[in-house]
Chain A
Amino acid sequence: MKRSLKLTDISKDVDTQLIEIDIDKLIPLPPPYDKVEELPGFKQLTEDQRERLVCNLDGVVSTALPKPKNKEEEKKYIEQFVSGLKKLLSRENNWTFLQPLLLSIDYCAQCQTCCDACPIYLASGKNDLYRPTYRSEIFRRLVNKYVKPGGKLRAKLNKGDIELNWTTITRLYELSYRCNLCRRCAQSCPMGVDNGLITRELRKLFSQELGWAPKELHEKGTVLQLEVGSATGLRPHVAKDNFEFLDEDFTEVTGIEVSTPWDKEGADILLIHSAGDIISFPENPIAFSILCNAAQVSWTLSSEIPGYDGINYGVFYDDVQLAKVAIRHAQIAKKLKVKKIVIGECGHQHKAFMTVADRVLTGDLNIPRESVMTFLENIVFSGKIKFDPSKNDFPVTLHDPCNIVRNLGIVEPQRRILRYLCPQFREMTPHGVDNYCCGGGGGLSVMSDVNFTDWKVNVSGRIKFKQVLEAFADQPGPEVKKYLCAPCLNCKLQFRDLFAYYGAREKSSIIFGGLAELIVNAMVILKKPFITWGEY
């Protein structure tokens, strides 16, 4: 029988889990990944974790919110929540998203069309808790009840009055991190209502009013980035040292001189990578150094805080942090007197810097910003570098990062490169602006508290993993090496977790990497392959 979760359940049964995730009900994966018993499954929460943390949603903990000390503390947070709802609807405090938010609150027809567009809802076997509309409708009813005139009376008269208590707000908080903000739901809504936006506004309320945000996004994310330069903890001199070492190392490996310029005032281009790439996937930033030098581009990196880390987690949860990081990046570019900023292979960096923060960067901070996709396309087709596509003669498929494709409409440049340089390039189904998220979107890929990674690999990343396998269905076995091109750091972090959990490298010989690596791998001048399958 189908589970049926009521909206009013959100506030009931204090400290009890709202739902259980049944692994057998998740959508099946193709062989050899269909044997559930061979997979590690979900880590159960320990008694200690249950004692200390709020775990009242789905048996998964992503935010590690401590339990309140007493009733007074509960009451304080509930009052702050109501005050946050009011601020979300005020011009002064939320001019940034007031119009989209109000329209999404007021005009949902409750047709549930968006649900079947959501990869999390679908992967979960259509679990009611993960409907894009579940959290949005609760939020909507709370706004209508507590912020609009006569709301409490109307809530009583209408069906489904939501009680606001500690359980409601803590479940909503945790539930706001069960969404990838991929906006596939918004794309399918005939009214133009955006549940992704509502989820982000909810996260924003918790962050900007209650001071609640996952530590990976806030404390060890934007705060650390603004303080020391990078959310990875890399300080400027360490970042430069790392690069110097990588330059030397890859000079030896590739046989061509690799060098990376830093803080070159007056360069044409400031390239901003994600520092996570320097640490986790160094082939990617090095591939850029090789390409820029080979194409004789006038470029530089910046070692000023936080100019060497382009991430901006504010786009996932907090407008103030979003603006702080974006302004800082623009100020660095202004100081270096560059003509433009090129945004590295990072999806949310694209969205944050190119569009969302565009209306924060006024006056001389509005320096032209370009996507790495068009930048690379220009290099590849400039004729300055000779390529041999036969060097990439292995199956390649492309993952479309939601923030670059669905949110910015940058669809074709990367495909033109792949069609030219990869003879066995094939698309996933669906792809382009209809793509599925990797499952790590919305900041989830960097969140790994308690047992959250289990949820990401089993639920949110499930449809994408299935898509990847289907794209290589003609050569599924480990005897053929296959490359998943994922031009986004956060997507790669999610694929790293997914592939490790399912053993995709061993069972199917699929590796993942960026776009620049494929381009460098096809360069005639390189004597040895740049993509070294064994090292992934």
Chain B
Amino acid sequence: MSGIVWHIFTFGVIGIFLIVATYRTLAIIRLPVHLRWELAPIPHEKGKGRYGGSYLEEYEWWKKPQPRSCIAPLIYMVKEIFLLRGIWKHNRALWPLTFAFHMGIYLTIGMLFFSVISAILIIAEVPLPVFNVFLVIASVLAVAGYLLGSLGAISLILKRALDSNLRPFNTITKYFNLLFLGAVFISGSYAWFHSGDFASEMSLFIKRLITLDAGVTLTFPLSLHIIISLLFILYLPWTDMIHFIAKYFTYHEIRWNDRPQDEKMQKELRGLLAQPVSWSATHVKADGKKSWVDVTTEEMSDEKES
């Protein structure tokens, strides 16, 4: 692949990823406010979240302040994201496999971060000894991430194929997703072991991308790894693997959403209740024109009139 093609391919993939991921995020944000469906424990309940209590435990709760903890939800999410707290608590047998898999992803992202920093330092012509430490960190993160990720992906594929609990629910897509991400990790491992100095090569590649330097030359293993990785990033936002975005909403907007009505919400609710209903069952008495307010209060109005 010639130099400029690398630039077009890489920036194109990143651009498409950002556009699709943003579109899907906005699609979730733009969904209408829903009826309350919270689920204890809610960590932001200050002093109560620990045992699953909520502000509704207070006598005449509407007259009292509802102190919210900012730290507790943060700690909860950090444990959930980095230590997979839920799986540890409820599915211990799966935890080592999925932990290796997710840790592989996090360490690889960490490697990319340090590689970008190193690339910027190269551009800034900082002397090698200063940023050498970043290269060492990137290198360690890369090999650890690739090996853990490969191990996680392979073991999860085997688990899916062999475990009678999981097998009936498997789809070709589930296997394909694991294989694809597994290919990213395995090709990364191959590139790391093949290269004399993986982190430097990666940083140099990123530096040439940033400076739009067309003189990109890569070894075959690193080229292969980067191509597979970019194809994966291109594929990712179209799949359910962007659950890292969805999870924010399932927790913050549903499980932990215990907001009573306020003026802004009331305005939105009035609009939603004015929408037409077209459910067909006779008891709903909807005709596609009557609104939610009409169908839920009609009988009462009838009685008043009679």
Interface residues of A (CB under 8 A from B): 2, 4-7, 80, 83-84, 87, 91-93, 95-100, 102-104, 106-117, 128, 133, 137, 157-160, 183, 186-194, 197, 207-211, 218, 223, 226, 319-321, 323-324, 327-328, 331, 340, 354-360, 362-363, 366, 368, 370-371, 373-375, 377-378, 405-413, 432-434
Contacts and interface: CB of A to CB of B under 8 A. Distances in A.
Interface residues of B, number: 82
Contacts, number: 262
A133 B167 CA distance: 13
Nearest to B63: A368
Contacts of A433: 40-41, 51-52
Contacts of B269: 359-360, 362
Contacts of A374: 56-61
B137 to A, nearest CB: 29
B161 interface: no
B91 interface: yes
A83 B48 CA distance: 44
A2 B164 contact: yes
Interface of B: 28, 31-42, 45, 48, 51-62, 80, 84-87, 89-91, 94, 98, 164-166, 168-174, 240, 243, 246-247, 249-251, 253-255, 258, 260-261, 265-266, 269-270, 272-273, 275-284, 292, 295-297, 299-300
B171 A159 contact: yes
A96 B281 contact: no
Contact of B32 (A98, A114, A327, A356): A98
B52 A405 contact: yes
Contacts of B54: 408-410
A95 B240 CA distance: 22
B273 A193 contact: no
B52 A98 contact: no
B175 to A, nearest CB: 9
Nearest to A96: B35
B164 A4 contact: yes
B37 A356 contact: yes
B281 to A, nearest CB: 4
Contacts of B270: 362
Contact of B253 (A99, A320, A405): A99
Given A5-B168, A192-B254, A405 B40 contact: yes
Given A320-B279, A368-B62, 9 more contacts: A92-B277, A104-B250, A110-B166, A160-B171, A192-B249, A327-B300, A355-B38, A374-B61, A411-B57
Contact of B90 (A2, A83, A99, A116): A116
Nearest to A114: B90
Nearest to A379: B59
A327 B34 contact: no
A48 B266 CA distance: 53
A355 B273 CA distance: 17
Nearest to A377: B59
B166 A112 contact: yes
A60 B191 CA distance: 59
Which of B52, B61, B165, B247 is most buried by chain A, counting CB atoms within 10 A of its CB? B52
Contacts of A183: 39
8 contacts: A103-B246, A110-B174, A186-B255, A190-B84, A194-B250, A321-B283, A409-B48, A432-B52
Nearest to A413: B57
A410 B38 CA distance: 12
Contacts of A434: 52
A95 B61 contact: no
Contacts of A137: 169
Contact of B169 (A80, A96, A112, A331): A112
A96 B269 CA distance: 10
A15 to B, nearest CB: 23
A208 B279 contact: yes
B266 A363 contact: yes
> Most chain-B CB neighbours within 10 Å: which of A209, A355, A363, A366?
A355
